[in-house]
Amino acid sequence: MAPSAASASRVVRDVVFVDGARTPFGKAGPKGVYAETRADDLVVKVIRELLRRHPGLPPERVDEVAVAATTQIGDQGLTIGRTAALLAGLPKSVPGFAVDRMCAGAMTAVTTTASGIAFGAYDVVIAGGVEHMGRHPMGEGVDPNPRIIADKLVDPTALIMGQTAENVHDRFPHLTKQRCDAYAARSQEKFADAVKAGKIGPELVPVATRSAELGWGLATEDEPPRPGTTVEALAGLKTPFRPHGRVTAGNAAGLNDGATACVLAEERTARELGLPVGMRLVGYSFAGVEPEVMGVGPVPATEKALSRAGLSISDIGLFEINEAFAVQVLAFLDHFGLDDDDPRVNQWGGAIACGHPLAASGVRLMTQLSRQFAERPDVRYGLTTMCVGIGMGGTVIWENPIWDGSGN
């Protein structure tokens, strides 16, 4: 059958990241700031804030809401993209769905809906993620098929993320604990400096919290950071995943609660509605690796994304790498010949400081990159990348819309 005139003339449309926001990230557990706050209420708060910040976006123009959660159970279940849309006050005509790609959930919510925009199925979407690891620890309620281990499809350590990080140390012994501790201390310092300078903060959405013991409160800043962390203090921490190991609570992200969301749009639609254009999507890729060394996933994902975009690592002027573990970031940097303290990498610190609420983190990376682009007209391309449980990596490449041609 011959293609119709409409399909024959279809072209890929430009997709832009309009704006992103997030809740302050909390520590998981009974003493965390969100211990008695529902997960879905966190993401609803962020969606409402995005709509409030952009009154030029009529709610009925939102074509889809995609919300990721790694543990899709309880208040993170029931097709959370749809229920969050309803709770946020979007018209009942706005559909929604849920996403799970573990740590890359929000990243996948973005790339999936962005593909729909590029294809012409949507004009405007909201994409994000939420994780309440205090209420729902990773793996709660799951029943892994025993053949995964019995048939030796993966090493048993593949199902415990901290052990996979120890495996990366084994594979790359030059990535020492000392290097990881030094990287972690710098992440804390950079994040603290960014908070003081007002770089971190404008994207945060204050969240009312409730405690049966303490009453009502207001979360206005991230709970996990430990400013003043030193390499000497990190050196003495326990290694919970292996006796005499190298992965500690100090050189890895913690267990956290939080939510993120962003608005994506077709570029002409964004300009028609008077929405800001924070960055333009260039391309993305996901890649699989051996599950027992899932931390190396960003390497092939980035190589694949760069190749498909016709770019090289030298074209990238800013990197936002999710710091699930310091060793995973260092494996990426070593592979691409970047220094441990390259100023282009995580210039405002990362998840080791502010936290990693699994499925929410991808949009945090994007929001920070977009805000960095606004300060750096000399930088044309940036990327967001992260490792993903069960042996994957994801990378998204973005272009700075205010690039002035003076740099890469």
Q: Characterize 306-327 residue by residue with b for buried, 16 or more Cβ atoms within 10 angstroms of its Cβ, and e for exposed.
A: beebebeeebbbbbbbbbbbbb
DSSP 340: T
Distances (CA, A) of 210 to 43, 213, 215: 16, 9, 6
Which one, of 321, 308, 291, 366, lies nearest residue 106 by Cα?
A: 366
Which pair of tokens denotes residue 76? 């993170």
Which one, of 139, 14, 124, lies nearest residue 65 by Cα?
A: 124
Q: Which helix (H) or strand (E) holds 119?
A: helix 105-119
Pairwise CA distance, residues 51 & 47, whole Å: 6
Pairwise CA distance, residues 259 & 80, whole Å: 12
Concerning whether 180 is annotated as a catalytic residue, the answer is no
Q: Which amino acid is at 251?
A: N
Find all residues with CB under 8 Å of 213, minimum gap 6, and list them.
none
Marked catalytic residue, from 180, 262, 354, 387: 387
Concerning whether 262 is annotated as a catalytic residue, the answer is no
Task: Please list the residues that pair with 209 across neighbouring strands.
Answer: 217
Which residue is listed with tokens 């962005």? 114
Marked catalytic residue, from 54, 103, 174, 262: 103
Pairwise CA distance, residues 110 & 118, whole Å: 12
Tell me if 161 sits within 8 A of 294, measured CB to CB: yes
DSSP 76: G
Which one, of 44, 64, 45, lies nearest residue 112 by Cα?
A: 64
Between β-strands 15-22 and 26-27, what pairing exists: parallel, antiparallel or unpaired? unpaired
Which residue is listed with tokens 């005139």? 5
Which one, of 231, 179, 221, 230, lies nearest residue 200 by Cα?
A: 221
State the catalytic residues: 103, 356, 387
